[in-house]
Chain A
Amino acid sequence: MKTPNALFRLVSAAALAAATALPAAAQVDLSKLVWIGDSEGAGFSAGCLTKRVQVDSPGAILVRANGNGDYEQPIINDPGLGGCLVLTSLAPSFGNEPSTGTPANLALPRPYNNLSVGGCAIHDMVYATTGANASPGTCRNTIDLVLRNAVFGIGSQVDQAVSLGPSFVILANFGNDYLGAVLSGTIIDGVTVTPVASFSADTNTALAKLKARQPKGLVTGVVDVTNIPFTTTLPPFLTSGGKLVLNPATGQPIPLLGPKGCPTGVPACPIPATTLVTLNAAGYLPYGYGIPCIPGVTSSLPFCNYPLPAAAIDASHPGVLIYASDAALLHQRGLDYNAATKAAAAANGYLYYDPNVLLAKLKTGFDYGGATINAAFLTGGAFSYDGFHLTPIGYALLADDMIQFINANMPGANLQRPDLSVYLFAGGTAGGLSGPYTAPYVWAPMNDAEKATAIEQIFTLDFASQLAAMIGPHRAAVVPGPSAPVQRFERAAHSDPMP
């Protein structure tokens, strides 16, 4: 009888060992997550970096939902840096909070887990160590707050990530290799748009270094910059009250004016319907740029019949039109970047995550207990006032989507999803941009006429349809109305007023 008992114990021990060893080998350990990335990873929102949102950066949400691991971030005290945009009226108009935030965690005696630096592209993530060798703009201006190489001398984001000995790595380059071209309205391949070859080489270099230290990780693709609220909110036509203005003679919408394709000697002509008009047009339209002079209607605008710029005039006055050929280039470049990233991920054993899948879902809308979140500007809840950074709700959706993706694609992964209710109802764990910071900013109360305009402009047919969809006991398919929804945005948000 002893032999069977001994055999039983042996088999039991082996089974127990197998049962415990196998899951452990396959688990995703976020106790020392390191995130390499850009402003989305850093937790930028509404044009600024501030503690109220940083605490809900996607990496922080991932870690918090899965055991509260050690995830140190370069927190910037409120009111943050960059001048957080604040909606001051539904016209809409915006104010800015002061850009006087100070670092709160600068003395951490090791690299941060969140090494994301706003404005950095893939080359910066691999090679930039200080502002001196980083891309100009936000990356150059803030990289030293994050990497602190004057103290550590460790190197780039990737180098510092390797030095931390991470338990899991996320390399999230969401698109600064070509987002700058959209923000500046100046699309020049090789200058404002990174060539695919160098992008691919840098991505492979980054992943090879990271894989050597930690073979488990995830790399993201870039977001299609032609498909974000910054480029999709404004129609290429003249609007009034949120609706298209139709030419009484033809019954057709009236195109805005741009500088390309015009007859010789004609400075402005109608833009094709395929043209993307960025949110930065808000700085020009109130003065008449891009608007045909119509006697008695728009002729009072001082710059009617002037074109909207298709390229930056100077650093303060960006281009706002992206013609179809440039839009196609950007779209294709995003696809090429992502193909290269996917190949690099496969070569290095990292998961490849495509954020455009999430973006497509956002366009349709997420429904949480009857509350709808979608990609609409101002009323959607996911994108912040700058039109390309997310809100804490958006970051929570990103983190949740990543968790589901990892669980579905990494054998043995069983990451816990976050509780979204605090983001939906409280704006985030620290209230988001409407959180506790209450320093004064310019608030512009509206008169009745402005209020009426705001109502018409913001609450478009699209919004009414969303409301209608909410009326049923459950969220339901929306039956399109007789005319296409139009959203409009005509006040300064991102640019200094012209001229």
Chain B
Amino acid sequence: MSLFESDVKEDPVFKAIGTRLAALVLVGLAVALPAARTEAAGFALFEQGSKGNAMGGAFAATADDPSAMFYNPAGNAFIDEFTLEGGAFIVLRPTARLDGQNPYPGEGYSANMGKSPYWFGHGYGVLSLSKDVKLSAGFWSPYGLGVPWQDPDTFRGRYISQRVDLRQLAVGVQLAWKLSDSIALGAGPELRFTDVKLGKNVSAVDPFTQRVVDIAHTSIISTGTPIKITWAAGLLVKPCDRLRFGVAYHAHTDVDITGYAEFGQIPTGNPQFDAAVSQQLPFGKQTPARTTLQFPSTTAFGLAYDVTPKLTLEADGNYVTWKVFDQTVLSIDGLPDTVLAHGWQNTWAFRAGALYKASQGSWLAAGFLYDQTPQPSWDAGPFLPDNNRTGVTVGAGLRVMKNFEVQFSSLFLWFHERTITDSKDNFSATYQTFAILPSLDMKMTF
């Protein structure tokens, strides 16, 4: 595979992680984990189970299936049977485009992101150690970013980013302890595996033509899948039969990433200039590179109320400390450090959901969410055009057999249109994105 193909094509994701995962996940779910696409603000992912997703992500106080490992680790204290759950989300983006503005990239110019679907998976298992203590293990994708621009060699943001893929996999083991019928705690460590790739072109002014030309393509690719240990905890309180309150916390991580930068020369057509350029960049070599990425902590607050024995309403607020992502320093051997300012801010997301328990263990759910972007307008651009978003969700769980449940959900997510005129890269554009995330989960109890 040539250098130019190395980072702009899909490749098997997290194969190495998958291998380790198989050993780590106690329930032995054999679910691969392909690329993720950010669907919560920033590059967080909040879609970690069909039931929680069907309720708009408002699940911290309900948390009554194994995906509680993500939504609220205390929730599993109330699961009495050995339960396995696994599933995946698909990310479809019918609309993901930018329309240029003057002075650059110019009015009348537009570009689309690649429409090939992403998918990401999760798997959880809960084992009862005693009446009040439960052991759970699982994996999920708390963070992910995939921004591939179509026609990367003519994309006018190609000197900023042609494609970026950032993926993080969490593997966790938790203990949930039911202190009483009304209070439970849960906590445990998480291993985070992180992978990042970036592809972009490098420009220069051709002295012969006095035009901006592409002189190189560079790929910056992490290696070694760094592992970072962090932790999660949750509290679930049932002060009365109908009311529940939940708090869940996932700690932040700073991940030191090492890898390499590769440069491939792009001929300009002028042999003198090309010869000169070839002397300046380490073409054909892998130059060591490193950076540290900051992943924020997430705190979820949830309040659920059983309006009737069959109908539950829940409202949640999620606080994410995105301020940790204030800048990124990229170091490539032999070159000056590159400092990328981000200036992100902490955010709130608001979620609400309704769950209707039908007969024989089946259920229907719907939800709504509003998610703030942490990204200031000056940082928004081809690398990550984030924005506030509004979503609605629907879903259902069908008990097809006594011990086997199939769950479906779908998130319809509208990114608010965002016009950027103060970009730090002088890249002025209006961004529009609409995404659909259907999911399928299977749940078995023993």
Contacts and interface: CB of A to CB of B under 8 A. Distances in A.
A90 B273 contact: yes
B427 interface: yes
Interface stretch (A74-82, A194-202, A282-290, A371-379): A371-379
Contacts of B207: 87, 90, 92, 378-379, 458
A380 B212 CA distance: 10
A392 B161 CA distance: 27
Contacts of A391: 210
A434 B212 CA distance: 12
Nearest to B200: A473
B31 to A, nearest CB: 31
Interface string B397-439: 0000000000000000000000000001111000000000000
Contact of A434 (B164, B211, B273, B280): B211
Given A367-B426, A451-B275, A419 B208 contact: no
Contacts of A338: none
A142 interface: no
Contacts of B202: 467, 470-471
Nearest to A478: B336
Nearest to B201: A370
A384 interface: yes
Contacts of A379: 204-205, 207
Contact of A446 (B218, B272, B381): B272
A472 B338 contact: yes
B279 to A, nearest CB: 5
B102 A416 contact: yes
Interface residues of B, number: 55
A471 B276 contact: no
B335 interface: yes
Contacts of B276: 90, 451, 454-455, 458-459
B159 interface: yes
A432 interface: yes
Interface string B43-55: 0000000000000
A420 B211 contact: no
B92 interface: no
A368 B104 contact: yes
Nearest to A456: B279
A433 interface: yes
A424 B157 contact: no
B240 interface: no
B383 A393 contact: no
Contacts of A368: 103-104, 425-427
Contacts of B24: none
Given A433-B210, A464-B280, A370 B159 contact: yes
Interface string B168-206: 000000000000000000000000000000101011110
A467 B210 contact: no
A477 interface: yes
Interface string B262-301: 0000000000110111011100000000000000000000
Contacts of A469: 336, 338
Contacts of B427: 368-370
A418 B102 contact: yes
Nearest to B379: A474
B291 to A, nearest CB: 10
A87 B340 contact: no
B383 A473 contact: yes
Nearest to B161: A473
A425 to B, nearest CB: 6
A334 interface: no
Interface in A413-467: 416-422, 424-427, 432-434, 446, 451, 454-455, 458-459, 463-467
Interface in B210-264: 210-212, 218, 261
Nearest to B342: A474
A406 B279 CA distance: 44
Interface in B296-352: 328, 330, 332, 335-341
B164 to A, nearest CB: 8
Contacts, number: 168
Nearest to B340: A474
Contacts of B103: 368, 400, 417-420
A472 B289 CA distance: 11
B156 A459 contact: no
Nearest to A424: B212
A102 interface: no
Contacts of A89: 272
B360 interface: no
Nearest to A86: B208
A465 B336 contact: yes
A369 B203 CA distance: 10
B102 A369 contact: no
A111 B228 CA distance: 73
Nearest to B157: A369
Nearest to A88: B208
B209 interface: yes
Contacts of A371: 159, 203, 212
A473 B212 contact: no
A400 B103 CA distance: 8
B160 interface: yes
Nearest to A445: B272
B106 interface: yes
Contact of A417 (B102, B277, B337): B102
Given A424-B212, A427-B211, A472-B330, A380 B339 contact: no
B159 A425 contact: no
Counting chain B CB atoms within 10 Å of each CB, the highest count among A371, A379, A420, A464 belongs to: A371
B123 to A, nearest CB: 33
A476 interface: yes
A474 B211 contact: no
Given A368-B427, A370-B203, A467-B204, A419 B210 contact: no
Contacts of B330: 471-473
A348 to B, nearest CB: 30
A476 B338 contact: yes
Contacts of B261: 471
A424 B209 CA distance: 11
B102 A420 contact: yes
A393 B210 contact: yes
Interface in A470-493: 470-479, 481
B105 interface: yes
Nearest to A403: B103
Contact of A421 (B106, B161, B280, B381): B106
B435 to A, nearest CB: 23
Contact of B104 (A420, A464, A471, A477): A420
A145 interface: no
Given A92-B207, A391-B210, A470 B336 contact: no
A467 B208 CA distance: 18
A371 B211 CA distance: 10
A127 interface: no
B209 A434 contact: yes
15 contacts: A90-B272, A90-B276, A367-B426, A370-B158, A373-B212, A419-B104, A420-B104, A424-B211, A425-B211, A433-B210, A459-B279, A467-B202, A471-B330, A474-B338, A476-B339
Interface of A: 65, 87, 89-90, 92, 366-373, 378-381, 384, 391-393, 400, 416-422, 424-427, 432-434, 446, 451, 454-455, 458-459, 463-479, 481
Given A466-B204, A473-B164, 6 more contacts: A368-B103, A464-B280, A465-B336, A468-B338, A473-B161, A473-B198
Interface of B: 100, 102-109, 156-161, 164, 198, 200, 202-205, 207-212, 218, 261, 272-273, 275-277, 279-281, 328, 330, 332, 335-341, 381-383, 424-427
